[in-house]
A and B are shown apart, each in its own frame.
Chain A
Amino acid sequence: MNRFRILSLISILIVAGLILSACAPSVEPTQAPAEEAAPVEEAAPAGEKVTVRVWTHQNDAFNEGLENLAKAYMTENPNVTINFETFDYDTYIQTLQTALPAGTEADILQMFGSWVCSYAEGGNLAEVPSDVLGLDEAEAQIFAAQLAGYVCDDKLYGLPQEFNIEYGAALVNTQIAADAGLANITDGWASWDDFIADAKQLAEVQDGVMLRAGYNFTASDAIPATFYSLILQNGGQYLTDGGFSVNTPEGMKALELMKKFVDEGLVDPVLFNDEENWVGDSFFEETSAIGLVGPWVVPEYAGDFEDVAAVTEYVTLPSLSADPVFVASSGWGLAVSTNSKAQDAAWDFVKFAALNPDNAVQWNIASGTLPALKANATGAAGEKLVAEFPYFEPFLNILEYGQNEGMFPDRDLVWYEITYPRIINFLQGNATAEETLETIEREVNESF
């Protein structure tokens, strides 16, 4: 072989190596760790060796719980190997977008409920087999607010593992409350007027500048959750067969109450919003006395803010209706790819992790999340959760009243690009209530 051919061959190998290395995903492949777990045994498809790949986003608590379950499953099913690959949140969304059309995705995909139908409609997700769980059984076993995101055209495409909640109860710093003379704040409030009176006492203002918010609800999840929940509590519905509608008396009442919080001095929306003094940061830095954010935030911050976590409790918010209805998004769960060559084993593990009550509650405890299974919100499982996370109690009492946010073509667009910016604009005094409702209604309807 002459020198030219050798050089050409080397060149081609270098280029091929570069291309192949660039094609490799930037993930952290992990095997399930050697952790203790006491799951319930489940039978698996016996016989040939099967490898199941699982993709999840990088949440240490979530993944530790799932990997514990995987280890236990593999112990009972030695022919099955489960491999995890994790991605940071933004990269995960982009990876799903590129891998699904290319058919290179994992067998099991961790999904946020609001995404499921958009991927299912693209033919990317497999329907849950009837021998795993039928739709009727799912409706009986899983909270409706969480199941809804996984049901597309009356077909089930995955199983939720958690109850995602951003309304219903608020974080309260009981030490700040006690210092302000509100030692019984954890008893709750009979009405919004009582709530406003207490929160006003907890706000701190100096030279016209708010140093501490009494009630920080002006974040990008809290504002839509509040707005749409208040519409429901006022007896309205924002999403019907006729379309999306918030320019209604119920929508107006919702906005008026939110504006009242601002006018009464509970929060300054210019200084406290998603960009500055975000509710989670602000609450644990003690620049907010009451904060509206889901219970997932406590394990995230408890490590760095032990003192604040020790005096933190959730207290149920007042309700305008007899039943404390609230809006909830479908939370994190597991789905299986249509392209998976190991669908039987994949669904078997998903069933093991999400449908078995003992395994499901084990994951909820590891991840610090509320249960998607109705059975785990009460009885021994419920007590186990409350023993582990005392602040879960107010939420467990209201989960049954959750209503799914509804099927939007793009829920993130509706929540974060339309509802939150328009309402924060209104609360900051830059638009009227009428303009705000009209704009939200028009822009959301355009997205359909």
Chain B
Amino acid sequence: MELQIEKPERGVRAFISKLGRGRDSAQRKFIFATVSPMVLYMAFWTLFPLLWGLALAFFEYSARRSGGSFLGMGGDNPFIGLGHFQDMLNFAEDAPLPIRQFHLSIKTTLLFAFLILPLNLALTLPLAVLIESIHERVKGLFRTIFFLAVLAPSVGVAIMWGYIYHPQRGLLNAVRTLIGGKLVATNWTGDQSLVVLGIPVALIAVIIAYIWQDLGYNLVIFIAALQGIPESIKDAAKIDGANWWDMFWRITIPLLLPTILLASILTMISSFQVFDIIQVMTEGGPNDQTRVLVIDIYNNAFRFQRMGWASAVSVVLFLMVFSISLIQSRLLRTEWEY
């Protein structure tokens, strides 16, 4: 008898046949019927706007001008190819205002994101270990307290911190006045001359508000991860003479690396996309010191109707977030299993 060797299926046919493998016809039809609406919905409301936004980046587009017949592109909204991206490379001191604001926004966004990440991790990780070490009955209470800030609307958080930072009526200046015995009215979010180590104080003020709100999110993730570390490993470490610092640095941190990677990526992505807290607290001021990329995109797209330029900036933001996420996942990749 000849040996029959089946050629492996490849391509779309292989994909489709894999979908049905192990399922009967009725099940396959059910899956198709129930998944299709969401796929269509996502395609229309996510994929299409994404592609349209990408296309706009190659046009000098403003909604105020009547363009061509297809989605207003063309006509008075001409195709300019890589024109916007070429303009972004204009680093002259007298470059047009939108370009200088774009460069400033990139710098501020990177500063914001790279300050948020280490501060966030430095606060949440030890805090998670601390909360995890206390009695079971109280653990839940602390977890809830810290997570409540995450649930609060960002606009409300920004308004609250605005009151804390208010120059004449704010809590912060009131405490300083009480301590100093002399009236103090520092404009924490509005005085552009206030700079610490080259970082505008207004940006620091926004960072504090942002971390205050965001703390609970990573905290809950880390607490869940800590609960996944087997007690046997901790017991073995104790038997070997590990103190609390050895336990934290040599046991907990390495075992939490996959979670730290996840938290880092999520924190970075959200800090690159920060908008509402800055828009309410400072609107990108004073003098553009807190102007991040999303504020720049918003102002260009909706205040000044430079939709094409705003789309190009959005593409740059996407590429930045994507690149940094890739780099992070490479650097923090681990093969731990326990």
Task: Enumerate chain A interface residues (CB-CB to B < 8 A).
Answer: 3-4, 7-8, 11-12, 14-15, 18-19, 22, 90, 93-94, 96-98, 100-101, 118-119, 121-124, 206-211, 270-271, 273, 275-277, 287, 410, 412-413, 417-418, 421, 425, 428-430, 442-443, 446-447
For the complex formed, measure the closest distance between the CB of B189 and the CB atoms of chain A, giving whole angstroms: 7
Q: Is the CB of A275 within 8 A of B76?
A: no
Residues of chain A within 8 A (CB-CB) of B41 are 15, 18-19
B190 contacts A119, C-beta separation under 8 Å = no
Q: Is the CB of A11 within 8 A of B168?
A: no
Is B304's beta carbon under 8 Å from chain A? Answer: yes
Complex Cα distance, B305 from A94, in Å, reads: 9
Q: Is the CB of B305 within 8 A of A97?
A: yes
Interface residue B23 (Cβ < 8 Å from any Cβ of A): no
Chain B: CB-nearest residue to A425: B287
Q: Are A119 and B64 in contact (CB under 8 A)?
A: yes
Assess the B63–A100 pair: CB atoms within 8 A: yes
Binds A, one of B65-73, B231-239, B329-337: B65-73
- Report the 7 A-B pairs with minimum CB-CB distance, sorted nearest first: A97-B63, A7-B33, A207-B183, A209-B185, A101-B72, A11-B37, A123-B66
Is B66 in contact with A124, judged by CB distance below 8 angstroms? yes
Smallest Cβ distance from B271 to chain A, in angstroms? 22
Cα distance, A123 to B66, chains bound together (Å): 6
Q: Are A15 and B45 in contact (CB-based, < 8 A)? A: no
Partner-binding segment picked from B105-113, B149-157, B278-286: B278-286
Query: In the complex, are the beta carbons of A275 and B97 less than 8 A apart?
Result: no
Residues on the B chain within 8 Å of A207, using CB: 182-184
Measured CB to CB, the nearest residue on chain B to A431 is B287
Decide: A118 near B64, CB < 8 A? Known: A4-B29, A4-B33, A430-B192. Answer: yes
Distance of A150 from chain B, by nearest CB (Å): 16
* The one of B30, B45, B282, B302 that contacts A275, using a Cβ cutoff of 8 Å: B282
Known pairs A15-B37, A275-B189; A94 contacts B302 (CB<8 A): yes
CA–CA, A287 to B168, complex, Å?
10
B76 contacts A122, CB within 8 Å? yes
| A101 adjacent to B66 (CB under 8 Å) | yes
B45 near A22: Cβ-Cβ < 8 Å: yes
**Please, which residue of chain A has its CB at the minimum distance from the CB of B182?**
A207
For residue B303, CB closer than 8 A to chain A, the reply is yes
> In the complex, which residues of chain A have a beta carbon less than 8 angstroms from the beta carbon of B190?
270-271, 273, 275-276
Given known contacts A207-B182, A276-B167, A412 and B304 CB-to-CB distance under 8 angstroms? yes
List 12 interface pairs A-B (beta carbons < 8 Å), by A numbering: A14-B37, A121-B65, A123-B66, A124-B64, A207-B182, A209-B168, A270-B193, A271-B185, A276-B190, A413-B304, A417-B97, A421-B288
CB distance from A254 to the nearest CB of B (A): 21
Pair B67/A7 contact, Cβ less than 8 Å: no
Of B183, B187, B189, B283, chain A has the most CB atoms within 10 Å of the CB of B187
Contact B63 A8 (CB under 8 A): no
In the assembled complex, the Cα of A18 lies from the Cα of B40 at a distance in Å of 11
Q: Mark B273-295, 1 if CB is under 8 A from A, else 0.
A: 00000000011011110000000
| Known pairs A22-B45, A276-B189, A446-B97; A421 contacts B282 (CB<8 A) | no
Q: Which residues of B contact A (CB under 8 A)?
A: 26, 29-30, 33-34, 36-37, 40-41, 44-45, 63-67, 71-72, 76, 94, 96-97, 166-168, 182-185, 187, 189-193, 282-283, 285-288, 299, 302-305, 307
Instruction: Write the nearest CB–CB distance from A447 to chain B, whole angstroms.
Output: 8
In the assembled complex, the Cα of A405 lies from the Cα of B282 at a distance in Å of 28
From A12, A96, A412, A430, B193 is in contact (CB under 8 Å) with A430
Whole-angstrom distance from the CB of B262 to the nearest CB of chain A?
Answer: 31
Given the known interface contacts A11-B33, A122-B66, A412-B304, the answer about A421 and B285 at a Cβ–Cβ threshold of 8 Å is yes
A-B contact count (CB 8 A): 117
By the criterion CB–CB under 8 Å, are B168 and A211 in contact? yes
Residue in B closest to A19 when the chains form the complex, CB atoms: B44
Given contacts A118-B64, A447-B97, 9 further A-B contacts (CB under 8 A): A8-B33, A11-B33, A119-B64, A273-B286, A275-B189, A276-B166, A412-B304, A425-B192, A430-B192
Residues of A within 8 A of B283 (CB): 275
Instruction: Give the residue of B44, B97, B168, B191 whose beta carbon is less than 8 angstroms from that of A277.
Output: B168
Query: Quick one: given A209-B184, A275-B190, A275-B286, are A11 and B303 in contact (CB under 8 Å)?
Result: no
Q: Please, which residues of chain B bring their CB within 8 A of the CB of A11?
A: 33-34, 36-37
Assembly CA distance A275 to B283 (angstroms): 8
Instruction: Evaluate contact between A428 and B193: CB separation under 8 angstroms.
Output: yes
Task: Return B146 CB to nearest CB of chain A, in Å.
Answer: 30
In the assembled complex, the CB of B202 is this many whole angstroms from the nearest CB of chain A, namely 9
Chain A nearest CB, measured from B314 CB (Å): 16
Inside 8 A of B76's CB, which chain A residues have their CB? 122
Roughly how many angstroms separate A207 CA and B182 CA in the complex, as a whole number?
7
Chain B positions within 8 Å of A206 at CB level: 183
Q: Which residues of A contact B34 (CB under 8 A)?
A: 7, 11
Question: A8 and B36: CB pair below 8 A?
Answer: yes
Q: What is the CB-to-nearest-CB distance from B6 to chain A, in angstroms, rounded to a whole number?
A: 30
Q: Which residues does chain B contribute within 8 Å of A118, judged by CB atoms?
A: 64, 305
Identity of the chain B residue whose Cβ is nearest the Cβ of A211 in the assembled complex: B168
Query: Which residue of B has the minimal Cβ distance to A208?
Result: B183
Residues of the B chain whose Cβ atoms lie less than 8 Å from the Cβ of A121? 64-65
The answer to whether B97 and A270 touch across the interface, beta carbons within 8 angstroms, is no
Closest to A338 in B: B66
A418 to B33, CA, bound (A): 55
With known contacts A211-B168, A430-B192, A97–B65 Cβ distance under 8 A = no
Q: Are B168 and A412 in contact (CB under 8 A)?
A: no
Collect the chain A residues with CB atoms within 8 Å of residue B36's CB. Answer: 8, 11
- B37 near A446 with CB under 8 A, answer no
Known: A4-B29, A94-B302, A418-B97. Contact between A271 and B286, CB under 8 A? no
Which residue in chain B gives the minimum CB-CB distance to A123?
B66
The chain B residue sitting closest to A12, CB to CB, is B37
Distance A118 CA – B182 CA, assembled complex (angstroms): 53
Of A93, A208, A425, A428, most buried by chain B (CB within 10 Å of CB) is A428
Q: How far is the CA of A246 from the CA of B223 in the complex (A)?
A: 60
Q: List A contacts of B193 (CB < 8 A).
A: 270, 428-430
- Which of B29, B287, B302 is close to A7, meaning CB atoms less than 8 Å apart? B29
